[in-house]
């Protein structure tokens, strides 16, 4: 894949991340906290995939995307380790909110997760702007 095509794919994936973040904020405002947590995670998931597009890495399974992103971009120091922590918390919360029938999350927790997702996307954007 040519650089132009990788850039285009990355842009599409990053736009999807922004849409998920906007949805998370809207769901948070409407009091739908589990769904807001879900969308915050997916914002980060699509942002990771936007970066991996430049390496022509196309993983669809969540664990594979997370593993590749950490290996290529966090362990190498391109991104700070704080992003790895954000990924873990958002992934675990998303899994619990989707599959645990009795899962409860507070507004405060979702506010923090949404802010962390926004921070994550901002860091990704700084990286992508250099490409």
**What pTM did the predictor assign?**
0.95
pLDDT at 68: 96
pLDDT at 69: 98
pLDDT at 3: 84
pLDDT at 114: 98
SS3 track for the chain: CCHHHHHHHHHHHHHHHHHHHHHHHHHHHCCCHHHHHHHHHHHHHHHHHHHHHHHCCCCCCHHHHHHHHHHHHHCCCCCCCHHHHHHHHHHHHHHHHHHCCCCCCCHHHHHHHHHHHHHHHHHHHHHHHCC
Give per-residue pLDDT as tens, 32-54: 999 999 999 999 999 999 999 99
Give per-residue pLDDT as tens, 76-129: 999 999 999 999 999 999 999 999 999 999 999 999 999 999 999 999 999 999
Report the CATH number at residue 55.
Answer: 1.20.120.330
Q: How many domains does the chain have?
A: 1
- Which domain, by its residues, includes 88? 3-129
């Amino acid at each position: 894949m040519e650089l132009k095509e990788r850039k285009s794919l990355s842009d599409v994936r990053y736009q999807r991340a922004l849409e998920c973040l906007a949805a998370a904020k809207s769901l948070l405002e409407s009091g739908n906290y589990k769904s807001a947590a879900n969308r915050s995670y997916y914002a980060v998931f699509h942002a990771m995939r936007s970066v991996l597009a430049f390496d022509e890495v196309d993983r669809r399974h969540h664990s594979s995307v997370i593993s590749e992103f950490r290996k290529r971009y966090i362990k190498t120091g391109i991104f700070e380790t704080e992003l790895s922590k954000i990924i873990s918390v958002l992934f675990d919360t998303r899994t619990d909110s989707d599959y645990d029938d009795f899962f409860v999350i507070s507004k405060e927790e979702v506010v923090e997760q949404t802010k962390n997702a926004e921070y994550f996307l901002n860091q990704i954007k700084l990286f992508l702007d250099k490409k």
